Structures are given as structure tokens and as C-alpha cells.
Structure 1
């Protein structure tokens, strides 16, 4: 008797983990910057009481609101599959989109830096409904014995679901402007701001840790080289921890890094100007990229345990370097030209990924499932 491939009956863990991660991004983007909370005397449902268009709006904002909720609708349907499918899956996903969008707008009435808008509510709900329709039409093709599903089973270990979501977010973490290529996890400025507001006093953890440290140009280059090499190696080794033997390891690593660099270039062009698309190509970044590639060439077929430990070690070293190295003056001047404006929501989600991605990766690498399910 020969074995036949059967459709998964327990749904897609990747879809459910992706849905949770995307919901966190929506919350962060909608309520950023999470400061100045107070009751302004407005009803949380004020956005539903007005039938006129907001005074200040652009077509760009409307399109972004629709596009931003399309993946949410798709993931809702995928997460419910196969327990719920077809029309009922579409209706439930559309209702969930309305509820989530309404909750985001209602809470924004308590944030002075945000404006609750009926246009945002309708466009977000419409985007989720459209995404739900796409999800209904594609769920059976992508989640039941499809080539993509078979590749997932053949190339990736059973415990890889959370890791695939994590690695899918790594290229997106490049969107937020960073002083070093692949340099994520710079928490000290954010922690200083939060502690200052909480304790109502001026606290600068960055100055305390760095002690007015000043670096030469060569030292900045060396720091960027280390951060870039460790960031790239840590992410790629995390990918290697998920793979089975038949997986094309070099091809997948190249694809992951290429996606990150492409997103980085597009983000720099969009947030600043097209001529700044490749401003991240500095001598330090080039050196770090070369060193990281050499390290990965030697570790691509190393034992699973060694890859996991080295992934954690390189990510920790990158965190230490990024939080103890002074900000490059050139980068600080470049950042001043960034007019966030209509990118406020976008900026919040991107900053969330940039800050916390290394910590999510370390949490994943620490999970006992790596010991129980070896590729």
C-alpha cells in the first residue's frame, strides 16, 4: 500500500500564528505612540455619529487603510479553515474586521495625538472584507495538499510554524530607519522615554550606558560591520534551525537576505527620497555583509544544536552593540529629513518590529520544541 497525501484537518498553525502577529501590528500601528492617554469628553463611538467626510484626508490614506487590512481578512479565513469555510467564513471574518476596526477607532478618542475617523473605520472594514473574500477563494488551493503545503512538509520541521512567521517579519523589520543595517533592538531610548513619563523625571539610560563615549570614523565602521554581520547571521541561522535535510539551504538563505535588502531599499526610497534608496550601502555594512556571508557558508550544514546556539549568540552580541554604540552623526542628520506625517501608522508598526524582532527570535530559539522535534 502506498501512502497518499491527505489534507490537513487541524488547520494551519502558520496562519494562526501569522494572524496573531498581524493583530499585534494593527494594535501598535493604531495606538502609536501610546502616550498622553486621557478622557477628552468624546464618545468612543463618535466616528459613527458623523456621516460627512473628515476635514483632512487624502486618497493615499484611504488606500493604505484598505490595503493594511486585506492581509488581516485573508489570515482570519485561513486561521478558521477547515472548521469554517465558504460564506460563513467570509461573514465571520468581515464582522471581525468591523469589530477590530471599531475598537481601534474608539480607543483613539483617548489619545490626543490620534483622530478617530469614520473614513478609517469604513476603509479598514472594507479592506478586511476584501481580504476575507480572497481568503475564501484561495484557502482550499493553498492549505489542502497544494505544492506550497507539500514544500512546507518536505523542507521544514514540524515545529517551524512560529519560526516561519518570525522570519517572514524580519524583512519587514528593515522598514524602520536604523543607524546600522540589520541593527534591531535599540530599546534604550524608548525605555528612557517610558521611565521618564512613569516617574515624572528626566531619565536617560542611553547616556548612563554609553558614558559620553565618542567613536572615530573607523570605530563606527567596525561597529556597523559587527552589527550587520551578527544581525544577518542570527536571522539566517534561525532559518536553518527550521529546515529538514532536503531543503535547499543556500537558496533559502539568499532569498531571505535578498528580501530584506529589497524592502530596506524600497523603504529608504519611500520614506526619504528615491536617491536615498541605497544610502544604507556603507563601508561598514558591506564589510558586515561579507563577513556574515562567510560565516553562513561555513555554518549552513553545521549540527542543529550549534546553529541554534550561534543564532542566539550573534543576536545577543548585536543587541549589546546596537545599545552601547553612539548614534552615527551622519545618520542622525539624515533622520531629521524624515517627515513622518501620513506615515504615522506605518511608522508605529515598523518601529514595533524593529525594536522587538531580536527578542522574539531569542524567545523562539529558547523553545523546548527544538529539542523535541529535530529537523
Structure 2
């Protein structure tokens, strides 16, 4: 009988050497903020280039007459040339940012340069149908150069600003994922204060513009405001009350719109205060530049002061209210402000001050500023009316 010895266990196989896997780079995605900003800036360029949108007719000129000569225009200034270059630099930069990261480098620069030339050429060609505007080869070339320079800056800064920027980290930490369009909207609110207005934060006075357009279209005098409001003179107290409500509604509506975009960790009060402070600074600088330095604070009236105080108190109390309540109150205040601003007669003192405003070289700039002043409240209401899941994303901490 043979004796069986237990089998000697085999030594364990040596573990296969582990190969350290490189860390997966963060996924680069297009920036919706830059694309929304690009769309908004294109709208501003169109409005500024074709303002005041009246007197359209064929003057018997070729739309491309500005390309048929290489001579400089008879009347031009260095101010005009520099302004045209500067005005198109953001367009080139935003085009490159909107293409990133799918298209970058030299190809993005070429696309930006070609798009800048096409946009500028289109603006100049359409101006041949506007008797108040003059198409110019100088404008075309300087705008195209500005867009190309903006494209160069965009190519050099895209990775640092869009991938590695601390601002991008704050964007993700403080703001809701779907807040991109809202951020563009809120960045434009202080700029909307540039155009002279009857009242502080009295944006959206559409009836006078619509009346002028309808009067020209129908070839008869039309005043839509007189059809809506009663033909009575307001007392000083009633006028101040209207001004107070308009200022408070505009301030609260904008502040609540910003609050709807914020996450819980964001410094809400500080961000709202910074936005309002920016609007005051822009308003004062614009008043001093467009009129005279002594008129920098001509808009500070008893009604504006009262509305500003009421607005600050309301925003302080609603800073940590539920987002649904903030969104609904923002819509209500914006619509209420639109209703009152379009039914309150103009301040005679403001009308007299406006007569001293010589637009001159700022015609294009003023057209863009008026565009913001008229349509910002409508854009804000439209944004707040979007499907609630986009705004409710701000609740995520």
C-alpha cells in the first residue's frame, strides 16, 4: 500500500505589474455663455449699424458701392476709424470662443476673420438703402481688421480663460448649470442704463418708438400712449409716485432675476449689490459723457431716491426666498414697470435736457444702447418664463 504525500502547494503567481494609467483630462465642452453672448453682440451690431431703421428706399446705388473704390472717404476722423476697430474686436473674440474647443488655432482665426468681413460687408451694403446712413470702405476695412484682431486675442486666450480660468470654477460653484443665457442678460443690465431714460431703471419705453414707426408707415400722426393713458395732467406727488414705482420695479426685477441664477453657496447679497453698484456707475458716467459733467447725477430725483430705497429693502428681504417665489415676483415687477413706464407722461425737465444731447460721433453707439434700453425687460421676462426646470437647477447646492 503506497503512501501518498500531500501535494506541495504551488507558489502564488506573481502579480502582473500594474501600469499607472494617466489621469483622464477633463472633458472640454463648448461654452454656452460665449455663444449666447455672441448672439447678443451680433444683435447689437445690427441695431447700431441700421439705426434709426427709417426711410428705407432704393437710392439707385449698388449695395457694394463701398467696394468699388480704394479712395478714402472725403469726411472721416481718426476717432471713427479707431471706434470701428474697437467695436468689432469683441465679435472676433467671441467667434473664436464659440468655436472652441471643436475648432481652434489658425482655423478659428480664419473663420473669425472671414465672418467679420461678411458681417461688416452686410452692414455696409444694407446701409445703401438708408438715407440717414452712408456706407464706407473705411468702415468695412476697419471693422474687418477689428474682428481679425479680436480673433487673434481669442486664439491666444481661449484655453486660459475657458479651460483653466478661476472664473470658470466660480461659474460652476455659484451659478446653475443652465444659467448661461441669464448671465449674459444680467451683464447687459448695467449697460442698458447708458441710453437716456425718463426714469431711473425705467427700461422698456416702447410706445414712443412704436408710434414713430407706425406714423412713418401709415403716413399719419399716431400716438399710442395717448390711446392707452387718460389725457390728464399728473400732480407732482402723483408723478413722484409713478417714478418711485418704476425705479423700485426695475431694480427688484433685475435683482430677483440674478438671484434665480444662483446656487446656495453663492454670496447672493454681494453679487446683487455689485450689479446695482455697476448700474449706478454706468448711469453716472453715461450722463456726464452724453450731456455734461454737471449732469452726471441729474437722474437723482426724489422719486428715484424713494424707489431705490424701497427696492433695496425688498431685495434684502427676498434674497433667500424660494427660487419659485423669486422668479414669479421678478416677472410681476418687470411687467408692472413696463405698464407704468409706458403710461406715464415724460418729465418736461428730462425732455428739455434731452434737447441738448448732440449724438454726433456716438450715433452707432447710441443705437446699440437704445436697443438694450428698449428690449431688456422683454428679454428678461422671456427668460424667466422658460421651462421651470432650467431655473430650478439653481436649487442644487
- Using structure 2 for the length normalisation, give the TM-score: 0.91
2:390 to 356, 370, 374: 370
Match of 1:100 in 2: 119
**Unaligned runs of at least 5 residues, structure 2:** 1-22
Contact between 2:257 and 2:327, CA under 8 Å: does it hold in 1? Answer: yes
Contact between 1:53 and 1:119, CA under 8 Å: does it hold in 2? Answer: yes
Contact between 2:175 and 2:394, CA under 8 Å: does it hold in 1? Answer: no
1:335 to 313, 329, 354: 354
Contact between 1:177 and 1:268, CA under 8 Å: does it hold in 2? Answer: yes
1:283 to 268, 285, 302: 302
Match of 1:209 in 2: 228
Contact between 1:8 and 1:144, CA under 8 Å: does it hold in 2? Answer: no
Q: Does 1:162 align with 2:181?
A: yes
**Cα shift readout 1:38-96 (whole Å, capped 9, x = no counterpart):** 11111111111122221121222112111111111110010000011111111110111
Shift of 1:236: 0.6
Match of 2:58 in 1: 39
Residue pairs, 1:246-257, within 5 angstroms: 246-257=265-276
Q: Give the 3-state SS of the residue equivalent to 2:374 in structure 1.
A: helix
Match of 1:15 in 2: 34
- Using structure 1 for the length normalisation, give the TM-score: 0.96
RMSD: 1.4
Match of 2:68 in 1: 49
Shift of 1:370: 3.4
Match of 1:232 in 2: 251
* Distance 1:5-1:55 versus aligned 2 partners, 3 A rule: farther
Q: Does 1:265 align with 2:284?
A: yes
1:347 to 366, 375, 394: 366
**Cα shift readout 1:279-336 (whole Å, capped 9, x = no counterpart):** 1111111111111000000000000000000000110110011001100111010000
Which of structures 1 and 2 has the bigger CA Rg?
Answer: 2
Residue pairs, 1:166-181, within 5 angstroms: 166-181=185-200
Q: Does 1:192 align with 2:211?
A: yes
Shift of 1:7: 4.1
Shift of 1:108: 0.4
Contact between 1:169 and 1:353, CA under 8 Å: does it hold in 2? Answer: yes
Distance in 1 of aligned mates of 2:215 and 2:274: 42
Structure in which a larger fraction of residues adopt helix: 1
Distance in 2 of aligned mates of 1:7 and 1:238: 31
Shift of 1:6: 5.7
Q: Give the 3-state SS of the residue equivalent to 1:324 in structure 2.
A: coil
